[in-house]
Homo-oligomer: A and B are copies of this chain.
Amino acid sequence: MEPVNLKTLAERLNLSISTVSKALNDSYEITAETKKKVLALAQELNYQPNPFASSLRRHKSKTIAVILPEIANNFFALAINGIEAVAVEHGYHVLIYLTHEDYNREVAITQLLLNGRVDGVLMSLASTTENQNHLLELRKKDLPIVFFDRVSEDDAVSKVTTDDFESGYNATQHLVDQGCRRIAHLMFPGHLSIGRKRRDGYLQALLDNNLPNDPELILSCNNNSTQNYNAILDLLKSNNRPDGIFASIEKLALNTYAACAELNLSIPDDVKLISFSNLETAQLLHPSLTTITQPAYDIGKEAATLLFKALKRKPVGPETAVLKSVLIKRNSTAIRSTGNV
C-alpha cells in the first residue's frame, strides 16, 4: 500500500498541498470547514504528519519551548495564549516547561534544550535565578531565545517587557493622589531587574512628592506565601503602619486582603491597595482591586514574533520591546469605601 502523504490528501480533496499542510498545522489562513475536511480524511487514512521526518531534513523540530516560572498566574496564562497564536500561524508546536521558581530546575531544563529538541526558546526567569551562566550556554549553541517579562540583564539578547519603572511610579503616584503619605512596597521576590525597576519607580515617586523613603516600608518578599503573609501582618500591626500599599505581584495583594481581614482593617479606609495584576476576579473582590494590568497577551505575541524573526534570518541583532501597562482604578484605592462594596 502506498504511504499516505500530503499529496495523497491534496489529490483526494482537490486542494493544493500547501493548503492541506496549512490546514493540518491549524493555520489561521484556512477556514474551519476546510480544516475539518482535511482532518477527517487524514484520520480516515491514518495519515501520520511526522514533523520529525520532514523537519530533520531541515534540522528543525518545528517546535518552540516556553520556559515559565509558574502556571497559576494569570499573566502567564494570557501570555501563553499570545505565544500560541503566533506559533500556530507558523505551523509550530509549543512545549511548556515549568521551573516552579526554582533555579536548579531552570538550569536542568535549559541543559535539556541544548540537545536540539526545539528550534527556539521563549523564557521568563525564575525569581530565584541569580547566576545566568546557563543562559550563556544556550546562546553559545546558537539557539534563538527571547526573554519576556522577567528578562535577562544581558544586553545581547532580545526581550519584551512592560514599562516596569513607569508603572511602579504611576502606582505610587496614584496612592499619593488618593491621600496616602506612608506608602509601603511589597517587593518582587529575588534579584531580577523587574523587581528593581518596579521598586525604583516607587522610590522616584516618593522623592518627587517629598515623601520620606523609610526602608522599613519596603518588604522583601519571597516564594513562601505563609512567610509573606506574616511579614505583611507585622507591617500592618506596627504603631506606624502604612496607609497605602503597592504590591509588585498579585499574590502579595491577596496576602494583604487576608492580613487586613485578620486585623479588622478596612481597605480602602485604613489602608489603600494597588497591585500589578491580571487577576480575572479583580473586579469581583471585596473591595474590588485597583490594578496595574500588563498587556499579557500582547507581550506573549510580541515575544513570539521576535523569536520567529530570529528563526528566519541569521544573524539577527538583539531587539527590545516595551509594552505599556494600564492603571485601572477600583475601590481598593477609593478615598472612602462605598456603601455597597
Contact = CB atoms under 8 A, between A and B. Distances in A.
Given A42-B111, A84-B100, A95-B97, 10 more contacts: A25-B108, A26-B105, A39-B108, A48-B114, A71-B77, A72-B78, A93-B112, A281-B281, A286-B288, A286-B341
Interface in A1-52: 24-26, 35-36, 39, 42-43, 46, 48-52
A74 interface: yes
Interface string A73-99: 010111011001000000001111110
A109 B95 CA distance: 11
B134 A43 contact: yes
A107 interface: yes
Interface string A274-290: 00000111001111100
B84 A77 contact: no
Given A97-B95, A134-B43, A115 B77 contact: no
A233 interface: no
A24 B115 contact: no
Closest 3 CB pairs of A and B: A286-B286, A72-B77, A96-B96
Interface residues of A, number: 57
A133 interface: yes
Contacts of A288: 286
Contacts of A26: 102, 104-105, 108
A115 B61 CA distance: 12
23 contacts: A25-B108, A35-B104, A36-B104, A42-B111, A43-B107, A43-B133, A43-B134, A46-B137, A48-B115, A49-B112, A71-B80, A72-B74, A72-B280, A80-B98, A81-B100, A93-B112, A94-B97, A95-B95, A254-B284, A279-B281, A281-B281, A284-B285, A286-B341
A257 interface: yes
A39 B281 contact: no
Interface in A291-341: 341
A191 to B, nearest CB: 17
A257 B288 CA distance: 13
